Each structure stands twice: as C-alpha cells, then as structure tokens.
Structure 1
Amino acid sequence: TYNETGRDAIEYLSAAPNSWYFYNSGTFAPNCDLDSYWFVTTWSTDGTTQIKFPATGTSSDYAIKYVEIDDDGNEIGQMKTVAPAADNQVINSLKYNKKYRLYAYGEGLKRIYFYNAGSNNQILKIEKWGKAKWNSFNYAFYQCNNLDITATDKPDLSDVTDMSYMFFECKKLKNENGSINSWNTDKVTNMSYTFGGTNAFNQPLNGWNTSKVTNMSYMFKDATAFNQPLSSWNTSKVTTMYAMFEGATSFDRSLASFRLDTISDMRNILNGSGISCENASASLVGWKTQAQGNNKIKNVNLTNFLAADQSYNQDGRDAIEYLKTAPRSWYISGGKFTEDCINDAKWFKTLWKASATSITFPAVGSGYILRYVPVDAAGNPAGAVQTIDPAAAGQVISGLTVGQRYRILAYGGSFTQLSFDTYQQSRSDLLRVEQWGSTQWTSFANAFKMCVNMNVTSSDKPDLSALTDLSGMFYGCVSLTNNNDIKNWDTKNVTNMSNMFFGATSFNQNLSNWNTSKVTNMDHMFQGATSFNQPVGSFRINALTSAQNIFMGSGMSCENISSTLDDWKTKAAADNITNVDLSGFANPDQYYNQTGQTAINDLTTNRSWTISGGTFAADCQSPDSWFKTIWQPSGNNIRFPAYGTTSEKYTLKYEPVNASGVPTG
C-alpha cells in the first residue's frame, strides 16, 4: 500500500516527460490506513468511563482509533484517534455502560500484557489480529474473563517464543470458527498455562507446530471443556509436562504419541482429568514402547499422574512396572489398578444361593465378562474370584457347591438384557440385585419373571435410556419389597408396562415420580400385587390405550382407586384422552366411592373409555367395613351403645331380618 505521498509520486513519474510505467503497483491507502493492518478489539465500559489498552514495551510509533458501537457491532459514534499512543494507554471520557471498537496499529505495537492491567473484564472480542508483529504473548490476555476470539485471520508469531499464560482463565473463550488451529507456532518454546482455566474452549489444535516447545506445564490445567486430539504434536524437546491436563475434566485422549525424548517431569499430568482407564492405559503402554526403543528416556517423574479414583488396566500396570524398573527408573505413583478397566460401579451385581452344582446366568447377549465368588452369610468374599471371559448368552457356571452363596458380576460385550423367561433354570437361586451398574439396558421384558426369592437392594438405578419394554419385569416376584430406588427410575422412554408387577405380592413402593407419557399398555400391571396400595393418579396417560385388569386383585384401597380414577378423569379432560380400555380394572370385591363413580361416568360418557370391574361403595364403606349385629328388641326401641363418638359422627343402618338373618324389609 501507499499513502498520499506515494500517490503523488506515482502521478508525477507516470506523466511525461518521465513516462514511467506502473503495473500491479499496490493499493492506495489514505494515511496508510489499511483495514487489514489494524488489531481490532471490542470493549465494554460497564461500570466505568475509560478503557486501559495494555500495550507494553512500545515505542511511540503506534496509534489507536476508537468508536462507539451498538449491540450488533455497528459503529454509531464518531471515530476518534490517539496518535501517538503510549504504553498502557488510557482512553478517557467514554460513555458509561457502552461498547467500543478499538483499532491499534503501528510498528511500535509488539505486545499486549493484561497481567494486573485492571481492564481484564472489559475486553470482549478480538475481531482481527491485523499486521502487528508480536514479540511475546506471555500473559497476553491473562484473566480476560469475557474474552472471545472471532477473528478469522491469524497473528504474526514469527518473533514469538513465549505463549505462557496467554489465555489463562479466559472463561468465555470459545473461538467457534477454529481459527486458532491455523496459527504458526514454530518458534514458540514456552506454552505453560496457555489455556489454563479456560472453561469453554474446545477447538482443534492439531495444526500447531510444537517442535521447539520445551515447557508444556499446566498448559490445559482446569481447562474443563477441552477434549481434542493432539496426536500430531511433536513433543520431542519438551522437558516438563507437569500438571499439563490436571483438572481438565473433559479430556479423554491417549497421549501415547507424545514423544518423550527429553522429558523429565510429568508429575500430575492427568491427575483429575477426564481420561478413561482405557486411554490412561494406552498412554502408559505407548510410553513404555518409546522407552524400550530409546535408552535416554529414564528417571522420569510421573508421580501422582492420576488421581486416586482414576484407573489403569493390566497393560497399564505392566507398563508401570517396566518403567519403574532399572535402568528406566521412573518415579510413578497415582491411580489404581482396575482389571479390564471395569470399575466397581460399572458391574451388574447379583447375589445367588446355588440349589445345584451350576447356575445359569440369564444374559441375553454375549462377549461380556462374568465374575463369580463365594460369599459368606454377611456377603463377604469367602474364596477366590473366578472369571469367564468372554461369557455367552445363558452362561452356565459349573462346579459350584450346593447351598453356597455366590456373588455374580457381569459387564460389557452385548450384555444389555436379562430374561428369566428364556433361561428358567436358576430362577429360585437369585436372592438379590445389589447393583445395576452402568449397563445401558435395552429391554427388561420378563427380566426377573418368577424369581420368587429375589429382592432389589441396590442404591443406584438402572440406565433405561435405550429401553422401551418393562413388561413382566417383576412378574411373580413375591419377595420383592425393598426396592426403594425404584421411585426415581427414568421411565420417560418406556412404552410397555403390562404385567410389570403381576403377582408381586410383597411390593408396595411409591411410583408417583414415574414419567409414563409414552406408555401405551398397562394391562395387568399390578394384578395380584396384594400389598400394593399406592395412588397412581400422577401417571401421565397421554399415550395410554389399554389398562385392562390393572388393579385386579391388588391391595389398592377404595380411596386410592377413587383418587386415581379422578386424577385420570382430569388428565383426560385436559388432553382429550379417549378410547382407553380399562375393562376389569378391579375385582368385584374392590371398591370405589362417589368420586370414583363420577370419574367412571365422565370417562365412559365423554371420553369413550371402556370401564368395567369394581363395585361402588358410598364413602368407601364396603360391606366388609360395617360392624354388624343382630338384635331381639324387648320393646319398641333399641339403644345402640356406641362410645367415644363425641367428636366424630358415624353412620348406623338397621333392617328387619328373619330367624336366618335374611332381610325382610
């Protein structure tokens, strides 16, 4: 580009008699003010009337322009200029609680340094990096809590070796266009704390050239959103990765590709990160492989590399033992060994009592790991753990002792379903479900059918997110009582609950929190569940088409039946729920009161429901409710000797009967 002076010179030289020829000769820019040259930022004046622009180490050869903008970024005020601008230039007399766009450019602009600048929370965006030739980004945007980068160009880093703390605790940094990945970092040696404490940043960085970096300590510490692959990075000159990903709770990538040619300090590198057992183990194996091929990789400090609750598997354990042994002599601590990377919370755990020398485990699916161990009456291990890997559908566990209790654990493969309807051999042997684990179940249809000795004592809840069918799940489970976690099950995707508690004669848990909005079938759901006496009027019945025999033979009281019918009447009116089949919903010796009768009349007349079953009993006073006596009066009146009725009324009915007690009037 050229300014007015250059333009005048071109015009003079082009004219006769000079007659110079100018082709592809650049672009005219008044005052050499070319838009692409400026470092452009957006700022807020919330709570203040000034902005401190933290340029540092400058000469007088740079200028600042600034203008007010609206919320859409449109410039609405008069552009003003500060030229020459100084170190930590303060721009005063701005409007309170407004936004401004600042332009900065000049050979003297070489560094931004927000450490203790006082205006950290005011800068909102970097819109353009411009042509500034930066010489350092150490502490450049330190604790700029509201900063994001929307620029699509990239900064000139050809003189930059230090990027430490560049975006430290920039809580809102997202860089959604991913432009950071295109930066040329081939001169940078220090990247410590670069993204430390960034809670929102999660963009690719695989495009960075890290071949000269020596310090990556704390680089992503507490960068809680970051989880990008870094497998292309050249870390051959890095000496310290201390706490590099500590507290980066989303980060779950193998670091096996990180070259360790000069590394000495890797303490806390993954401590408290989100790394999985599998990727932690793969990292250890990769480092072991490098050490086997490079005798210089030794005496590395890898203490506390994982937190106490983070895991590695057999391969990781073997790698640790190799690296700790001379001549490698690494210092390693942290984490815990977890066989097959299955931590305790992942297992589906059950307790059994063998009635024969084998137990058939009713898995639908294969390729999973099954472990079993004898336990004493208190549930403590009483022998060695045995493993079947891989286990099959309907896996038979042989060589057991009759009468001995066993804990059986299962996880992995395609094991996502149980069916005691398919594998009936050991139904009576199952005593308890102790833990549901992390299996994503795909069906519980007839899962525990006729497991007559089974109870659920787990404190966790099953993952039902991929499941639609709970039909017959606890069919005939007459010992099911202590299922306190069931009230919090996530049933929002379930469509079939028919027969779920059929004949579960001991079950009586509150299910009012269940989301039944997709359930179409509740046929026989509580039939024969003689202890069940809970109102289920909270059930959402938007999709319900059939609930035949739902309460037949259950323990539902007249009051709970009536309130449930009344709640369903209200829901049906609100959502126009029609044509539900509620035939045989209760036995003739089960009752509903006036509220229930009104609900039945409304649902059948106005909503075309099909309803039969049960018997009307005014005020829920069924024939069995009455205290009945037969009298032979000696006169024309009888005094009924009720006592204790001063505060409560009671009803008294009387009728003549013959000698056999048959009413005669």
Structure 2
Amino acid sequence: MGGAKFCRFALFPLMLLMLLLLPGRMVAQTDYVTTVTLKKLAGTPVGYKGETYANLFDGKKEDGNSSKWCCEFRGSAYVIFEASKAGIPVGYTITTGNDNANFGCGGRNPFSWKLYGNNEGKNGAWTLIDEVNKDKVLQDKNNTSYNFPCEGSTSYKYFKWEISAIHSGSILQVGEFELKLNTCTHLKADGSSALGAAIKTVEPTCTEPGYTTKECSLCHLIVKEYLNLLKPHTLTHHALKAATCTETGLKEYWQCNVCNKLFSNKAATTEITDAANLVIPANGHTLDSEGNCTVCGANRYALFNNLDGITDVTITDNGGYPWQILDSKAEGMQDLGFTIPNGSNVLMSSNYHKPGSSSETVIRFNVSKPILLTSQILVSSEENKTLFDFYVDNNKELSISGKKQTEYKVLLSVGEHSLRLVYKKGNRSDANADRAFLYNLKTSVTIDDYVADYESSNNTLTFKKVTSNNIESLDLNHAVIVNKPTVGDMCRLLGINSTAIKSVVFDKSFKTYAPTSLYGFFRGLTKLETIKDLKYLNTEQVTNMSYMFSDCSALTSLDVTHFNTAKVTNMNYMFYRCSKLTSLDVTKFNTANVTNMSYMFCRCPVLSSLDVTKFNTANVTNMSYMFESCSALSSLDLSNFNTAIVTDMSYMFYGCSALSSLDLSNFYTKEVGNMVCMFSGCSALKTIYASEKFVTSKVQSGEGMFAWCKNLKGTILEYNNSKTDHTYANCGTNGYFTPVFEYAEFNEGTGTLTFRRGLSKPERAYALNLEASEPGWLTHKDEIKKVVFDASFANARPTSCCSWFWYCTNLATIEGIENLNTENVTNMGVMFCRCQNLSSLDLTNFNTGNVTNMYGMFSNCQNLSSLDLTSFNTANVTNMAYMFDGCSTLTTIYASEKFVTDQVNGGDMFNECRSLKDYSFSKRDSKYANYKTGYFSKLVGKNGDDKIGAAGETLATDNLVLDDNKDFVAYEPFAAKAASYSRTINAGTTWGTLCLPFEVSLDGQNFRAFKLLSADDVTETVELEEIEGSIAAGTPVIIKMKDGATELNFTEADKTIAKDVQTAETADANYKLQGIYTKKEFSKDTDNNCYIVKGDKLMNPAKLLGTSTKSVGSKPFRAYMADNSSAPAAGARMFSISVGGSTTAIEQLETTADIKAEYYDLQGRRLQNLQKGVNIVKRGGKTMKVIIK
C-alpha cells in the first residue's frame, strides 16, 4: 500500500447525513431540452462592428451561415444572458469562429473561463457553476463545436460567462455559445409524478445509492430516481505491524472488501483517505562511531560478504565522517531521486549538509584469483560543487557530481587491492540528497565485456570484446574494462602515459559497443600515428563528438567515412590541432542535428583539401574559429552552408592564408552578433563574394574583421588597414565584398520571368524576397506566362519562396525548376497560389527539410490533376492551412511517410478538392494528409512512364495493367485490387518463359509451367519439373503452350505484388533461371553466359550477335537462363527477341540463327514435340537428352 492514495472525500457521517436529508426518491437532473433560447443582456468588450457578443446566441454556426463575437482582449471579457425558461445547467457547447484555422488567426479561442448563474437578474449575486483552466479542448478549426459537461443541481434563469485568458495574441473570437438546461419538473398539473413505470433498476452498494430509470411523460426524457439506501461495508481487520530499523510498519486498520475504503475503527465511521497515513516510518539505524547499527547488528562488512575471490576485508575511515550503512530515514533521503533496490547492501557518505567537509573511507582486501568486480554507484548532490571520487588501487576511476546512477566494472588480479570512497563538499552545496552511495558489489570469474588491451611492444591499444568462462585463462594483465570516457583515462588506469600510445586498433568484436558520447575520446594522444579499423567504432547513438581527435598531432590520415553522425549535436574542437592531417573525408557526415561547429577544423595547418559541401548546417548556431589557421587550404566551397541561425562567426577564417577567394553568396547572417577577426590574416584573399543576405544588423563585435587582408578588394574599395571592422562587410562602394546577385527578370515581350544568378544584375531586375515579404516581380503577376530557372540559378540558395507566383493566373509553364535549390528555404507560403493555368508541376527535387510554412502553397491551382510530393519532408512545418484549397481537378497527391502533420495548423487543407478519391467536405483538414487513412497515395512503382500510387493501412493500388511495352519497377511490395497481363504468342511457338509480379493460378490455363531442375552441357541433359497449383509472385518459369494456343491472358484480384524478381537456381547451383520485369539488352561480351528460349531450342544470344543480328533483347516479364560456372558453354533456349532495336518474329530469326531440331523417344520413335519423361533431341550433328517431369 506504501504511499498509494485513495481519493475518497465523502466521510461516512456525511453520507449518513445526506441519506437523512434526502427525500424517499431523488430525481437526477442529467438530461436537457432543446427548446430553451438565450438572450444577451450585457457584456464587454462589445466587439467589432457586426461581430458583437449578441451573435453568440443567434444560432448561426455553419459554414456559409455563421456569425461570431470578435473583440480586442485585454485580460478579461464577459457576457450576461437570460434563458427563456429557468433550468438546471447540465452542459454547454462552444463553437469556434469562421476563420480560426486561417493564417494569422490562430490562438483566439478562450483558454480559461468561469460560468455563473442566478435567479435575480444581471445585477444579482452570481453562483459559480463551472470553471475551466488552461483548456485543451478547443482547437484552431473553423466553425467547429465542442461540448463541455457541468454538474448543476440548482435551476437558474440568468447566466454569466466570464473569460480570463485566451490561447495567444490579443483577439478573442467565439462563434456560438449554447447552454443545455433541464427545465422539466417531471410533475403533472395536479402535482402528481409524470414518471412512468420502471425501466431499469440498479442495486445500491456500500458507496452509491441504487436508482431506477423512468421516462417522463411530459419531456420524454429518461431520468434516474435514486433510492435512499446504502449497503454496509464488508470489512477485513489488519493488525498493527511494528517498524524496524530498515522496514516500515503499518497502523491497525479495517478495509472494505467491496469498495476498498480504509477505516481506522471497526464501526467504519472514520475513513482514512490517504493510505500513506497508515505507514509507520522505519526507525532507522542507531550507529556507532564506525557506522554500524547497535540495534539490528547491521554492519559495513555486509557489503563484502560472500564475494567470491575476496578475503581479508578491512575498513578504515579518514576523518570524522565515515561511510556508514544505508539509513533510509536519514535527512535528505526523500530527495534522492533514484531507487536503491530493497535488500541491497549499501554504504553511504555521512557528511550531509557539512560545507567544506569530506566523507572518506578506504576498504582494503585480498583477491585470491583473477576476478571481475562490479559495483553500483549513486550520487545525489549539487552539480559541479560537490564531487564523489572513486579510487581503485589509488587510481581515480570516477569523479561524479550532480545526480547520477551508474555501474562500474574493474578487472582485479591476484593480490592486495583497495577501494577509496571520497565525498567532498564545497562551501555551499546542499542540493538533492547530498550523499553518495556504493552498493551491490558482485564478483565474477567469467567475462562478457568490452576491454582496452595494451601491448607495450608496439605501443598499441586494442579495443575488443572478450567473452570467457574463465578469466584466469586470459592474459588481461594489461587490459581495462571500457567504462571510462576517453583513451587517456584508460591509459591512466593501465599505468601508462597517454603519449605512449602510437596505434589504436578496433577489433571487429567491438562493433556492438554503442557509446552515447565520444567527447575527447582520442584527445591529447600526441604520439598517435594510426587508427586501424575505425569503422568498428559504433557511432550510431553518439550525440557528442566534441574534442574527439583534439591534439592528435601525429595523425597523418584518418578514415571517418563509416561514422554515423545522425544524432550528433556537438562537433566543436573535433579535429582541433590535428596538425599533420593533409586530407580528411567528411562527405558522409550527417550534420542535420549539429548545433556547434566552433573550432571544428581549427589549427589543421597542412590540411590541403576539405569538402564540406554535404554539410547540413541548418541548426548550427556557432561557427567561430571553425577553419582558423587552416593555412594550407587554397579553396573552400561553402555554397551549401545554411547560416540563418548562426550567432557567432568570430575568427571563422582567421589565418587561412592560402585562400584567394571565398564565395559566401549564400550566407544569411541576420542573427550573427560576433564577427571579430572573421577574415583576419587571410593574406592571399582577393575576393569575397556575398549577396544582400550578408547583413551586419545584429553585429555587436566586429573589430579586426578584415585585419591583414592586404590583397582584398571590393567593388571599389581596396584594402586599408584603418578600415577593418564589420562596417566594411558590404557590397557597396565602401565595402570589401564583391556582389553576387540572385534575381528575377521579367520580359514583357514574351511574358517570361527568368531567375538568374551572377556578378551583375540588370537595372530592372528584382532581388529575391526574404522571409514573408512580397517579391517585387508580382507587379507583373497578371502578365507572367512562363517561368524559367536559368542554369546559373542552381547555385543560389534562397531562404524564402513565399508568394513567388501568387496570383500568376496566366502562368502556364515552369522550365528548369530542377535549378531551384530549396534546401535553405523556410517559407513556401502561397508559393503557387492561384496558378490556375498550370497543368503540371515537377517538385521532385524540392528539399523541404527546413520549411516551416506551407500555408496556401497550391491554393486554387485549378488545372493541376496530380502532384508528386514524395520528396517533401514536413517535420518542421507548422502551417498547412489551405495548402490545396480549391484544387478542384486534383485527383492524386503522392507523398511518403516523411510528410507528417504532427504539429501543423491544417485547417481547410483540402477544402474544395472534390476530385480526390472519397473526398468529403467534412474531411478537409490535415488529419487526412496521409496515404493510410487520408487522401494521399504513396509512390510505390512505375509502369512504363506511369506512376503507381498505393494507399491504405495495407498499401494497395486499384488496378495494375502490365504490358510488354512497359517496364515495371516496384519501389516496395504492395497489393493490387486488380492485376492483369496479356501476351500474344507467335504462331508455331510452343516454348517460352514467364515472370509476373503477382501470383498466377494454373487452373484452366492454356499452358504448362516448369521449373528448371538441372542443365548440364557435358551430359547434354536438361531437366524440368512441372509446377502444380500456381506460380508464386516474382518466380521465373519456363512455359509450354497447349494445343497451339497463341494468347496468354491473366486477370487476378487482390494480389500481393512482389517488389523483386526471384532467381531459381538448379540444385547444383551451376545454372539459374533469372526473371525480369524490364526489357533487357544482351551484351555479346558481358552476357555470354546467358541463354534464352528460342522456339523449342537452346541458344546463347552471343551466337545471334555473331550473325547479321546487331542486338538481342528480351521484353519484360520473361526469364533467361544463366550459366554460373567460370567458363560457360554456349547453347540454350531463346524467347521474345529484339533485333536491331525492334521485336522480330521467331520465324525471321530461324532463317539466320537456327537449325531445325528433331525429337525421339527412347525407343527411337520420331515425336512431333517434347513429351513428359526422357526425350532425345537432335540438332544438326549434336544430340542431347531432355528430361521433362
């Protein structure tokens, strides 16, 4: 029961009193009538013109016929109203306004309010009926009603609704307020009851009276008529349980077996509402000077009892605060913050709230055989002011402050060892439990752990996993358990200097070790020359790589191409002072979550090349000293850097003396406050390209920004050592930057808007807009017919596409949109709004990873029939309201699981999208922006040039029609509600192959299907086995037509579509039958091991290519046989062949590449065709045996 609360507030005497006061029958007022009307009496604020509080009660709350109360909100608002008939309030309904979901209109709903009632009038005293604080029900949706219950018992005629807070902003908006009143007295005119016969009777319990439901003949509502009876409690007695030193006790009490209520007396008149009040606290230990209990005999040596391999334990205390046995009742224990398992043997520090003191104890012991010692350590102290130090054999293993619970392992050899526990307090450090704990020591002679093993002969430290049932059999004298944060720490445990390490090796067994931090892991290994197999260092869970290779000044090469950095947030000082690194491949780094890159490559003076073009810097705030003193770098491509939230760029390029130019034209520096010495010492720097986005409006420190940039020249200004601060960071005549312009130019003659990037901008061209500002070219919105993104624009990185083509109603085509790089864009609001002449839009290259606003993005694009948004990642989008509003001809929207709407305002997202499958006007918000239960389809494949979309919890497409002239590609498995395929077979052709992505039943088919069992050119034997039942999806087979049939026709329902074709190998794996869904051209050189079915013979395509035939190909949905041996021989079957790029009839090929075959049975009788069993086939001068099962 420990601490569990029973929320029982009605005490037994109060229940008894209630029963005495109740009438024999009590009617519950829980239903309401719909005929009561409400009338406004007073209120404030009144509201805007036409939007006053009177509108709350006019009944207009539907789309197209709504009104609202909309007013300035200054901390409070109220409305007083009168009901047409008095009644008991049992609930109310609040309806939102008509534009709550619109852009900029969110947050207007009430957040906290109270509802009052009286029977005196608007000036009477008010009685509270209901109160709501910090409401979570009302949403930013248009004309949407939300119900709120209230439990009234008194009838009122006058009401006051008082609002004390709204969600956000300064405008309050409500569409309608409706009150639910129960006005019926359930009495006839003569005073007799209007309630009919009993419908249902519920028996009373020991806490709830029983009731009977009846129907009122006046209002026809079902009401409850309560009975004034309660059953007595069924009690169980629980005797007193005394407390001990370590265990709590319980007071005497009685508990009801039915309702579980607790009582302190047998008569059940005094209820215990909180079970915690029954608990008798543990007495706690009475300790002697050595920390042992004088009452229960518990002592400190219990922690070491029965530890295999440990003997002769002695405990010595240093100072006046010895470590003692656990006392759970000691001061501060309630603030521990962790749980120590019951029954644990524990030592804890004793200098609680003793500023400047130290609690120190040393445990010495002998180890009789090699063991692994495991201990649990818990610290609950003030961060950084109090330290717990844990020593093993006088080596500091751990130093912990704050709150932490951890396990520590150490390998111990035979001999004497010691543990030293030191809890050292600062002058003012009393946070949390203010204690440290050592508990649950265990020893083991087995090991299954990660170790660092040092080999002194070659100064190599190897990280590996060791698993053994006998530690004694292993040579671990120079190994430590990997539970220290850095290599340097492990070296100290090994008793060697970290500068001794020349090589680090990661064994393959180490790849399952998954640290969460590699902070300073190799830091300070100044003699480290090589790191072998770094790929086995698992970085999948790592969040911190700061200082990881810092000061590895002897490293000449470093392979970090296998690093998984997806979770890393900190990379500062990562390669700091790697002074011999000449190259570094970081192109595989995923930096999407990194926030700090300061000092990352700082002082890497011989690093001659560095490719950071793949870096995603959207979340980086600090780039100070990032490339400082990279003096061998002659070039640096930062064209993909997103600097929109960077605040510090001080010393970023300081001392990069080999750089002759820097292109920072995509730098957006609106948040940067520090640019001190940013380019200082870039002595070879002649040109810095920048755009209008490089601003210094927030810079507070910019001194020396261009110091010693003696060769730097801007448009006009040449370097002057008296002009070196941030005021010269501009593209004007008094700045050092060379402008790069990103602009749009309108040609009035052709109606074409062209986006370009270059070193000059035409006089009438328009600069790109920033954030939510309106682009200048919209002055021509009615004239724009065509948009072109010039190839030069591919290097531009706009940060906003807001309103770019807003209301360009005559825009019909967009060319070169692949040259629009959107990786830095945050705003795509109303980007294509009202582009009603656009019939197609290719957005497959769009990167939306940083976009937050897609409000009205495609609104009223009335001529678009489909949109492929598969590339859209909407994880950061917060506004999708009206995104597809008015796209009346839109039938298909392709999207992936990356299109998420967890945090968006998506009101009216699909408003008037009436051509979408299963569209409903009531289902038009972002809830339906998915392919499982909404309007989207997932792109699962291509059928020729046609996209295949699938939807549903189990992905399914409606109808898949396969065709020999269309390649079929599936991106993932899916289902088809209907699937079909047909093929015309050339007359006289008996044999062929088939491979379809769906299962085919063989019942009633006009062909037989076979699988390849074996094919041996030496024995001239081909063995087939007939398939019964069905052909599995994706399975290649050889088929034989029946009775001269020339058509294949398949129509199947509800079939799973196999993504991949299968390979059917022979038992000896020498041959395989390979299926294909797409056309294949056979190469004379690389496909000389392939064999295709031709007529009823076996043929290698290379033989055909040796004739006048220029090329041999196979149509989709066939198969070919391949010889897996190292030296394949020629000969096999051929099928569906392309010659010279076009399909040629089998008969034509036979004239150039075939000799007629003859068939015989074992008795030598001539056969018309192959039969089941053994066949003798003669082809020219060659004879072979064919077995068909």
The interval holding the TM-score normalised by the smaller chain is 0.3 to 0.5
Q: With structure 2 as the length reference, what TM-score do the two structures score?
A: 0.26
**Structure (1 or 2) with the greater helix fraction:** 1
Q: Which has the larger radius of gyration?
A: 2
Which structure has more RCO (C-alpha within 8 Å, separation ≥ 6)?
1
Give the TM-score taking structure 1 as reference length: 0.41
Q: Normalized per residue, which structure has more strand?
A: 2
